[in-house]
Amino acid sequence: MKKHIQYSLCLSLLPIFMSFANEQDSKQKTSGASSYQQEAKIKINTFATQLKGQLQQAIKAGGLISAIDICKVQAPLIANALSTDSWQVARTSLKVRNHNNVADVWEKNTLDEFTIRKEDGQTFKQLKQEQLSLDSYRFMQAIPTGEVCLACHGKNIDENVQKHIKKQYPKDQATGFSKGDIRGAFTLSKAL
Ligand code: HEC
């Protein structure tokens, strides 16, 4: 009889232990995700700051046309330099200049979602998305179109600049943007 009570007590405690274990597990997952998000944000900041610096310096030194060539070399270099520790750092867009930046399915869905969320009034700071699965962590953050971007991504691009872009990127789609549009997004993934 005593044995029976002990046994059933054990059984009745089991769900409590299990839910405790689940809670611990999900706590670990969220704190894992947010520490990955932290890492992703640092990489994005570095990418944005370095590229903006290079771009501004290049425009100042040699004008827009030489800045295009510098962007072509520097953007992938900076992305590669930040792609360490199983991270892949890149940029993407619904309308790309460099074909290597074409969005995959998750990125395209996320960019579509960003468009809707922006129409609903969200700020650029809010336009981020993360996904944690068993084998990867992914993070995207929208990139706003600023005034300086219009010279190479806007509606009225100088004829010579346009010609040079077409020469370097015959399939360029990344024009026609206005200030405040979503130009694209930083997209990062980490293999787990
Ligand atoms: C001097 C011209 C120039 C200016 C100014 C410029 N870009 Fe670009 N942008 C480029 C070029 C060239 C590429 C392709 C880079 C590559 O080959 O990876 C590019 C690519 C991009 C991409 C990657 C997706 C794609 O289309 O391939 C994003 C995102 C982007 N630019 C955002 C911006 C933003 C935001 C600004 C303003 C802060 C800006 N650009 C200003 C020339 C420019």
Residue closest via CA to ligand 1's atom 36 equals 149
**52 CA: nearest ligand 1 atom:** 38
**70 CA: nearest ligand 1 atom:** 12
- pLDDT above 50 (res 23): no
Residues near ligand 1 with C-beta < 6 Å? 55, 64, 67-68, 71-72, 75-76, 91, 93, 96-98, 101, 143, 145-146, 148-149, 151-153, 174, 183-184
3-state secondary structure of 24: helix
Pocket test for ligand 1, best of 92, 173, 183 (most atoms within 8 A of CB): 183
Predicted TM-score (pTM) of the model is 0.86
How far is Cα 55 from Cα 175, in angstroms, rounded to an integer? Answer: 17
Q: How far is the CA of 1 from the centre of ligand 1 (A)?
A: 77
Q: Which of 74, 52, 43 is nearest to 146 (CA)?
A: 52
- pLDDT above 90 (res 155): yes
Sheet with 128-132: strands ordered across: 87-92, 182-191, 136-144, 128-132
Alpha carbon distances (Å) from 12 to 3, 17, 18, 72, 173: 14, 10, 11, 64, 63
pLDDT in tens, 129-150: 999 999 999 999 999 999 999 9
Chain centroid to CA 70: 22
- pLDDT above 60 (res 78): yes
pLDDT in tens, 166-184: 999 999 999 999 999 999 9
What are the tokens at 148?
A: 């300086």
